[in-house]
Structure 1
Amino acid sequence: METITGTAAGVPYTALPPTGSNAGPPPLIVTWHMLDAPRTDAAFAAALPMTGVPAWRVHLGMPMCGARMVDGRVDAIMELARRDALMAFLAPFVRQAAEEFPAALAALRDQLPVDDGPVGVLGGSLGGAVALEVLTTWRAPIKAVALVNPAVRIRSAVDLAEGIAGKPYRWTAEAHRTADELDFVARATGIAAQPPLLLVSGERDHPALRTDAAALVDVLRQRYTHPDEAELTTVPDLSHPLADEPGLEPAPQLPVAKRVDEILTRWFRRQLTVS
């Protein structure tokens, strides 16, 4: 499978071109990877290539990941998580990745033969929070949103990150405000657009993340003019990661990732062919 690597407005990416021919420039899907395995854009592209989707799939690197990793190791990221899981780690990653997106998108349109229409977005785990931040702040026209085991409420991710710090998180007034700002169940009622949204939840994912996922879809179904355009799909035997550790380099696709990939491929094919 052909892959293209590059940098868009300072953001490294791994791009997969569509197979076959198109009547015109193909559409674009942009993804943000997990901080669990697969934790780089190249590894995420290998785990979820979505080869059957007639679109460019461009996997952006998250801050301090992949080509931007300090000394090619995750130590610097873990140190931020130990220092302050929310204020030094989770929130800055989400905000920086979302803030980088408009310029990166403009650069991708200059570099790749994609159409100029609304884009599809996909995020896994913390990358799911980035996709939701992009959606709720309307940083670009969005045609469809897919999420895999996403961090829908950052408070739940903070609780999970306590294991890295080895101690309970020390909540401050500022941390509470930041967690409220990154609670996408609460913010769902303020989403101006109503793009189709698919949330893929692993049957063995962290219980709190599964609860938050169901809550987000419930809120969107209440708000959407067409409630069936907010979908929740559970994948048996899927835990949180989509690849084996260390998840830094492209690796053979795991069977459970293949099932997720097939779900995403069918769904994006359907959404991208809707006029």
Structure 2
Amino acid sequence: METITGTAAGVPFTALPPAVAVDGPAPLIVTWHMLDAPRTDAAFAAALPMTGVPAWRVHLGMPMCGARMVDGRVDAAIELAREDALMAFLAPFTHQAADEFPAALTALRDQLPVDEEPVSVLGASLGAAVALQVLTTQRTPLKAVALVNPAVRIRSVVPLVEGLAGHAYRWTGQAREAADELDFVARAADLTAQPPLLLVSGERDHPELRTDAAALVDALREHYAHPDEVELTTVPGLAHPLADEPGLEPAPQLPTAGAVDEILTRWFLRQLTS
């Protein structure tokens, strides 16, 4: 399977073509990786290749990750987290990745033999917050949305990174507003588009994130016209990361990531053929 790398409207990507020949342009699945391992588009493609899905799987690089790392290191991103975990790191990374998606999608369609149908998206951890922001703002029609160990409420993620600063996070009014904007449980009622959604939660993920994941599923089912199109799956033994550290380069797939990969493959197959 040939892997293609490049940039789309300035966003680096790793693209995997359909493993089986497709008659004409193929469907497109776009992903955003986590900031834990695997923390680059290339490493994420290796962790969750979804080889059995007859679609292009295009893994976009998050801001300051992969090809966008400063001097090839993660130090600059870590320094932002130390400066302000929410306002300099989590929130701007999420907003930038979501804001640059429409232009990147247009460029991908110019570069790859993909169809013009609504695109499917997948996000993991903070990448899932990007996918949810894309879903909520509704600038791009979506066919299906999958989330893995998602950052559903950014307020719950702040304590997980505030240790980089060596002190408890100092909440301000502006920070609280930013956290409210990235609380997708609270924003569930804003959704008018209701694509099928799968949430994959690791049994050993951070307890706060698991609680938020269940709350999001409940909120979406309350507002979806067809609640059964919102699915929650728990993966035994899966912690938050999907790869071993340092998670910068493609690595052999872990058994837990393989379990996630199988779940995603079956689900996307069902969505693309329905």
* TM-score class normalised by the smaller sequence: over 0.9
Question: Offset at 1:163?
Answer: 1.8
Which residue in the other structure is 1:190 paired with?
190
Question: Offset at 1:23?
Answer: 2.8
1:28 aligns to 2:25 (yes or no): no
**Alignment TM-score, normalising by the size of structure 2:** 0.99
Which residue in the other structure is 2:260 paired with?
260
Question: Offset at 1:227?
Answer: 0.7
Which residue in the other structure is 1:77 paired with?
77
Amino acid at match of 2:33: H
% same residue = 81
What is the distance in 2 between the residues matched to 1:19 and 1:45? 14
What is the distance in 1 between the residues matched to 2:165 and 2:148? 25
1:170 aligns to 2:137 (yes or no): no
> Residue 220 of structure 1 contacts residue 227 of structure 1 at CA under 8 Å; is this kept in 2?
yes
Amino acid at match of 1:171: W
Report 1:133-148 matches (<5 A): 133-148=133-148
Structure 1 window deviating more from structure 2 (8-17 vs 18-27): it is: 18-27
Deviation by residue 1:204-244 (Cα, 9 ceiling, x = unmatched): 00000000000000011111111110001000000000000
Amino acid at match of 2:149: N
Amino acid at match of 1:40: T
Which residue in the other structure is 1:40 paired with?
40
> Residue 217 of structure 1 contacts residue 230 of structure 1 at CA under 8 Å; is this kept in 2?
yes
1:248 aligns to 2:259 (yes or no): no
Which residue in the other structure is 1:200 paired with?
200
> Residue 101 of structure 1 contacts residue 139 of structure 1 at CA under 8 Å; is this kept in 2?
no
- In the alignment, structure 2 segments of 5+ residues that lack a partner are none
Question: Offset at 1:22?
Answer: 2.0
**Alignment TM-score, normalising by the size of structure 1:** 0.99
Runs of 4 or more, structure 1, over 4 Å off, are none
Deviation by residue 1:161-183 (Cα, 9 ceiling, x = unmatched): 11222210000000000000000
> Residue 48 of structure 1 contacts residue 258 of structure 1 at CA under 8 Å; is this kept in 2?
yes
What is the distance in 1 between the residues matched to 2:158 and 2:267? 31
Which residue in the other structure is 1:9 paired with?
9
Superposition CA RMSD, Å: 0.6
Which residue in the other structure is 2:117 paired with?
117
1:59 aligns to 2:87 (yes or no): no
- In the alignment, structure 1 segments of 5+ residues that lack a partner are none
1:132 aligns to 2:132 (yes or no): yes
What is the distance in 2 between the residues matched to 1:114 and 1:67? 24
> Residue 136 of structure 1 contacts residue 190 of structure 1 at CA under 8 Å; is this kept in 2?
yes
What is the distance in 1 between the residues matched to 2:101 and 2:246? 26
What is the distance in 2 between the residues matched to 1:86 and 1:20? 42
Question: Offset at 1:21?
Answer: 2.1
Deviation by residue 1:8-41 (Cα, 9 ceiling, x = unmatched): 0000000000022223211000000000000000
Which residue in the other structure is 1:102 paired with?
102
Deviation by residue 1:149-171 (Cα, 9 ceiling, x = unmatched): 01000000111111222210000
Amino acid at match of 2:182: L
Structure 1 window deviating more from structure 2 (83-92 vs 14-23): it is: 14-23
What is the distance in 2 between the residues matched to 1:234 and 1:208? 15
What is the distance in 2 between the residues matched to 1:237 and 1:195? 29
Which residue in the other structure is 1:49 paired with?
49
What is the distance in 1 between the residues matched to 2:37 and 2:4? 21
Deviation by residue 1:105-133 (Cα, 9 ceiling, x = unmatched): 00000000000010000000000000000
Which residue in the other structure is 1:89 paired with?
89
Question: Offset at 1:139?
Answer: 2.1
What is the distance in 2 between the residues matched to 1:117 and 1:196? 15
Amino acid at match of 1:84: D
